[in-house]
A and B are shown apart, each in its own frame.
Chain A
């Protein structure tokens, strides 16, 4: 699996766990590099991976604006300093790098800085085999603050009609607000496969697969352990591996 995946969905459906599981699959692969981007201001992906960001993109943004006020700078030098700071801000664990976007910016228009930051993230992502973006429900933030085009918009839902309806709504927004190659629904935390299949049959979304409820993930979350340490026997991990294989 290569490219950029944005993982979106209603709050509480397990999109952060799915993002972390994708990273877990990558972390065991030789010669493959992954970039995990936490675009959710609550910062859950950092905890799920057990990788702390050194600084967030929003911290960088504030530093860059402050520095530009202190010294004159031109566009190319500004972009160079953003590249430097972005690399410095990366958390790393083996073949996996981690970047936290942080809280949305405060009032004020700094279009040039925002554009440079997004371009720097896009360039950074180009150095990795797979970039996984854990997005908040609003995909507009991904488009505006992280990256303009994703290869796969992975819409995550729990096995409820409400979760699926929100996923459909997110795709509707994405159709208007961002560029993507493919959008697909992943039904997560499934205890009753037949109920999940009924939901899958009713939605106009392409359904990419179903992940079973996995007590190990719940336990890891409860204990604050990194999902990168999740056993290969984890049913959800195995199911995700099979999906990627397909």
Chain B
């Protein structure tokens, strides 16, 4: 059982449902059709399309697993279509926007995996597009410039750019990037799974950053009780810390 298998199973069920209904289009990964990566800042006057932003109108998520059934192959998934100059003309307000990055691989250390994969996603910034994420709120905000759109920027190309960078990591075996465009109800449907995953990440960060193993007073006790993998990580870390402090491992007191 992996850290995110439960929320990933919910997302996979949603994916198959939407694929079956024909709403979700699965595009095979194309390493040639990508987009230049460069940090950009797009001002409002240069913005053709605004995606996501405040409150519940966006959803950003990164999950990983070892299970092939949850992330079967490399693909860009589009629900709600792709960007186009016509869409920019029609859209009067920011569009609801979701970006789900799902990775399959074998990662020896879960926290290193979180940091490494997250850095790849953060650093893959499309040229001519301002993208900002607010991780603890699961929020994502993008401004796509007129120039980028005129030059052919698409979510498909951006998804391919993210997959390309993720696949450069030795541990990764497959990656999918799902974009949900203009479909608030889909974001609402996925939010509970995303919040569950965020709680797992929070518990992971707390374990590694705070080094607090007083489980009875920890607000993530319930999360750890639900996710067996977190308990294993906690026990391993606890043993390591005690080893570093020169303490005896649990259960050895009074042996001599």
Contact = CB atoms under 8 A, between A and B. Distances in A.
B41 A84 contact: no
A95 B45 contact: yes
B43 A80 contact: no
Contacts of B132: 80, 83-84, 87
Interface in B106-151: 115, 118-119, 122, 130, 132-137, 139, 141
Given A77-B205, A95-B43, 15 more contacts: A33-B43, A71-B136, A74-B209, A80-B122, A80-B132, A80-B133, A84-B134, A84-B139, A85-B134, A87-B41, A87-B141, A88-B53, A94-B45, A97-B43, A127-B39
Interface residues of B, number: 28
B200 to A, nearest CB: 12
15 contacts: A72-B203, A72-B206, A74-B115, A74-B209, A76-B119, A77-B118, A80-B122, A80-B134, A83-B132, A87-B41, A87-B130, A88-B53, A92-B44, A123-B39, A127-B41
B210 A76 contact: no
B17 interface: no
A73 interface: yes
Interface of B: 39-41, 43-45, 53-54, 115, 118-119, 122, 130, 132-137, 139, 141, 202-203, 205-206, 208-210
A74 B122 CA distance: 14
Contacts of A88: 53-54, 141
A201 interface: no
Contact of B115 (A76, A85, A87, A92): A76
A195 interface: no
Nearest to B207: A72
B205 A72 contact: yes
A88 to B, nearest CB: 8
